[in-house]
Structures are given as structure tokens and as C-alpha cells.
Amino acid sequence: MSNSFYQLIGSSDDFFVNTAGDLGLGGSPAARLHVQKLEQADVAIKITNETTGHDTTDGLNLEVLQNGSGRLWQLEASSLIFGTDDTARLTIGASGTVTVDTDLSVAGDIDATGDADITGNTTVGGTLDVTGDSTLTNLSLSGTLGVTGATTLGTAEITTADINGGTIDNTNIGATTPGTGAFSTLSATGQITSTLSTGTAPLAVSSTTKVTNLNADLLDGADWASPQNIGTTTPGSGAFTTLTATGNVTFDTSTLVVDAANDRVGIGIATPATRFEVKAAGADTWAQKWLNSSGVQIGGLYQTTAGNGLFDMLSSGVTTVRLNSESGVSTTLDVQCDGSILAGVTSSLSGTRHNFANASDRQLVVRCTGTTAGKFWIFGHSTDASFTIANQGGAGVTLADGATSWASASDERLKKNIASITGAVAKVAALRAVTFHWNAQADAEPKTPGVIAQDVLAVLPEAVVQQVTDDFPEGLLSVKYSELVPLLVAAVQELSARVEALETP
């Protein structure tokens, strides 16, 4: 044939024409045109033109995959159109959007992850589930309609009991008479929003029975006075007799916030972080005011110009702040208008500003720990002007009237298990009398005389105190120098006895 040719490559089965005129590529044909591969691989028919190019990634492929699946594959960034009677019926856009240009009737389910745009009638025997938006002219649905985006319906007959998700707008669903398309029950887990302008009620209910539960928020005992307001100021004509909320309550963003989930209340603050918070309006303002029964302010919390807080109690009498342990019990602590502080007494003692006492022996008790052993007393005597500091064991020191040094408690009536010190001379001989610098001192400073605590611990442990610190976890030793005096007295007595023995003929 002129201007025509054919070429055979490889075996005779690469290009085969049988006696019936069937054409086979890759093997003997079983149809008018049969393309096949004998090995395990994908096989395709590629269609290209001058616009698409003719590389492996161009044009349109009709493929049979290795797993046996068939695929019509558009390799170009263009639409794939299906039609009948020279008319487009179904279009798949380059972005994946599917447009049905006529009626759609599906006996099973439809699951679309993108948008659905159908201009004809839509009949679905199963479930219609659209992740994106959907535009449906006429929908007849026996299963469930689930739409994540917006759904626009023309005239529609929906026979399902549930419409899950999405927004349905544009027109009416069903008719006004149940049984011809209207909902007998409408259930929604999300919001139902009306865009009607003011003046038209967005919800019309012909029943006179009050709604006891609307969107899970109880509105018992209330009437709807108008589309804008719930209730009025007069009970019986729309106001709430009781307002109960099981969730959060917010008035005007931050005027009053009740955080029910965390049991918190905020006034002036949108997100309270503790049980009760009040935010001042600004500098030099009261965050809180406390009024008496006559409406006169008696105290409150105040923010200064610098932003600091003041706890202020206002009083024209004697006491500004009074703290009692419980109702009916005598005063525990008073802060008076003149600045006096009273603890355990009801009035200032003569000539004093700070009074810590009880009615019997004028004691101030300080507890250093939670145990009885952690207490010590500072008290004056009612019979003289001496001043005593004592510990829980009853021992202590006294500063007598007119004295310049402390006297240690030593009355025999305060003591038990009394025993004499023996071997005092040997014990004193074991002590080193030294002068030294403290580690924190400079070498040029005067030295300090003293003894070594470890020496004292070996002969008179009663005169050594051991205290555990961070720097000395094994215990830091201190010497009670006054406790060495009895040892020295005993040593002198022993030496005196020896002298007397030597002098006796």
C-alpha cells in the first residue's frame, strides 16, 4: 500500500490478525481489538493528541492493572466527561469535583469526600455521606443524609428519620402536614441557626405546652417574651422564677463568669484561675466593698495607683480588724484604729502598742515545730519586773530588774537524777585551751579564745550540741561554755582535796 507500512517486532504474537479479521496486540485476539501482556504487568491503551503531547505521562489511559482492576486514567490536569446522546451526563473536574448533569439514581450508598453538585433528581437507596458541600435539586433518600459542609436542596422528599450534620437552607423540607414529607421528629446534635431578620419569629410552635429542655439547657418556669429577650422583670409574664444551669454561665463576656467545669467564679475576669476572683476596674478603685446593714462601707479590697492591693477595714470606733477562733469566744487578735495589736487581751496594756498575753501570767508562746518540744515561752512576772525566756523543759534564763546579764535557772526543785562529776581534773586536762581564727575571718583579725568541741564531747558530752546542716550532714558541734563551769568547779574541788591531803602531817 502506498504511503502505508507495518512492522513486526519480536515474536509473531506481538502483532496478530486472525482469519476473522480480529486484531491482537501481544497475543491471539479474542475480540475485534485485543491488547494483552502475557507477563505479570500493567497494560494500557494510551490516547493522545497534539495538545496533550505523547510521553508516558500524557493523554488518557485505559488500563488493566496487575491486580486485575480496570482503570480509566486522565493524566492531564483537565476534566473527564461521560455522556450519552451527544450530551454530557457526568463530569469529574481536575480537582476531583463530581458534577452530575442529570438525574442520579443509586440503589446502594454514596460516599463523597469532596463536594457533590447534582442538577437533576437524586435517588439513593442507601446512605448519602458527603464530606464537602452538596447542591441537590431533588433528593429522595431512604437511608441517612450525612453532610459535613453546607447542603442546598430544591424541592425534596426525605424519608429518613435522621439528618446528621451540615446546614439545610434555601427552601422547605416536606410539607405542612405530617405524612406528606414533614418531620414528625427533628433531632440535631449541632446548632440550628435562623437568619430571619428581627420582627419575624425564627421558631413557631402551635402547642401551648412549655418546652422543658431546649438544646440541653433547662428553661423550666419561663416564657419567651420576645425573640430578643427571655422573660421580663415581672414574674408570671415571662421572667424566670428560678434559673438553673448545669454548665458554664457568662454575662457580658467578663461581668460575671461561672466556670462550672472547674468550680470557679470570676467577676470582671473572663477566665478565673481560682475558686473566686474579682478584678478591679483600674488604679485607685475598689475591687470589693463590704457594707454594713445600713449600707455604709466598712471595708474592702482596693487597688492603688501603683497597682498594689490594700486590705482596708474602715471603723470609727476602737477596733479596725478583729479575728476570733469561733463565735462567742474571747478575742484572738485585734488590730486597733491607733495601730495597737492585741493578742489574747481585749484592751491595750498601759503604755504598750503590741500586746501578746493571757490573763494569768502574761505569756508569749512561740512554737517552732508542730510538737510540744518545739515550744518556748517569753514572759514577764506579775510580782516583779524580771523577764524570763524558757523552753518546754522548764529551763531558761532570766533578766532580773536592773541586771545586765542573764541568770540561768538552777533551783534544785527543778532538777532530778542529780549526780556528782568525778575525774574532773583528768577531764579538764584533756581539754585544749586555744586561740584561733574562724574560717570566715581574715588572718589579720584578732584571734578568739576557746576550746575544741570534739575534746569537750569526749569528756563532757552534756556540754556539746550537735546540729545537722546542709554543709555538715554528719552534725555540726557547738559548745555550751556555761556548762563547763561545773566541770571546772569539780576540778578545783579535787585539786583542793589533794592539796589538803599533802598539807596534812
Q: Are residues 29 and 108 in the same domain?
A: no
Q: Are residues 366 and 433 in the same domain?
A: no
What pLDDT, in 10s, does the model give residues 367-426? 555 455 555 556 665 566 677 777 766 677 888 878 888 888 888 888 889 999 999 999
pLDDT at 478 > cutoff 70: yes
What pLDDT, in 10s, does the model give residues 15-25? 788 888 888 88
Q: Are residues 382 and 446 in the same domain?
A: no
Q: Give pLDDT, residue 437.
A: 92
Using alpha carbons only, what angle is made at residue 62 by residues 58 and 66, rounded to the nearest 5 degrees? 105
Q: Are residues 326 and 391 in the same domain?
A: yes
What pLDDT, in 10s, does the model give residues 94-114? 888 788 877 777 777 777 776
Q: Are residues 377 and 331 in the same domain?
A: yes
How far apart, in whole angstroms, are the C-alpha atoms of residue 348 and residue 346?
7
Q: What is the largest CA-CA distance in the chain?
A: 167
- Do the domain assignments include residue 223? no
- Do the domain assignments include residue 231? no
Higher pLDDT, 163 or 298: 298
If you search the block for the grid coordinates 492531564, which residue do you land on? 76
In the chain, how many H helices and how many E strands? Answer: 3, 39
CA distance readout (Å), 408 to 209, 215, 390, 411: 89, 80, 10, 9
Out of 26-35, 227-236, 400-409, 453-462, the most confident range is: 453-462
Q: Specify whether the CB–CB gap between 278 and 261 falls below 8 A.
A: no
Least confident stretch, 171-185, 311-325, 491-505: 171-185
Q: Are residues 160 and 86 in the same domain?
A: yes
Q: Are residues 356 and 430 in the same domain?
A: no
Picking from 135, 169, 203, the residue at the C-terminal end of a domain is 169
Picking from 169, 189, 220, the residue at the C-terminal end of a domain is 169
Q: How many C-beta neighbours within 10 Å does residue 485 have?
A: 12
Picking from 24, 45, 74, the residue at the C-terminal end of a domain is 74
- Domain, as residue range, for 56: 12-74
How many structural domains are present in the chain? Answer: 5
Please give, one letter per residue, the 3-state secondary structure of 312-379: EECCCCCEEEEECCCCCCCCCEEEECCCCEEECCCCCCCCCCEEECCCCCCEEEEECCCCHHHEEEEE
Q: Are residues 87 and 163 in the same domain?
A: yes
If you search the block for the grid coordinates 546579764, which residue do you land on? 405
Q: What is the pTM of this model?
A: 0.34
What pLDDT, in 10s, does the model give residues 434-448? 999 998 888 888 999
Q: Give pLDDT, residue 326.
A: 61
- Do the domain assignments include residue 55? yes
Q: Are residues 42 and 114 in the same domain?
A: no
Q: Are residues 347 and 398 in the same domain?
A: yes
How far apart, in whole angstroms, are the C-alpha atoms of residue 449 and residue 435?
4
- Do the domain assignments include residue 274? no
- Do the domain assignments include residue 272? no
- Do the domain assignments include residue 386? yes
Q: Are residues 17 and 50 in the same domain?
A: yes
- Do the domain assignments include residue 453? yes
- Do the domain assignments include residue 353? yes
pLDDT at 126 > cutoff 50: yes
Q: Are residues 290 and 369 in the same domain?
A: no
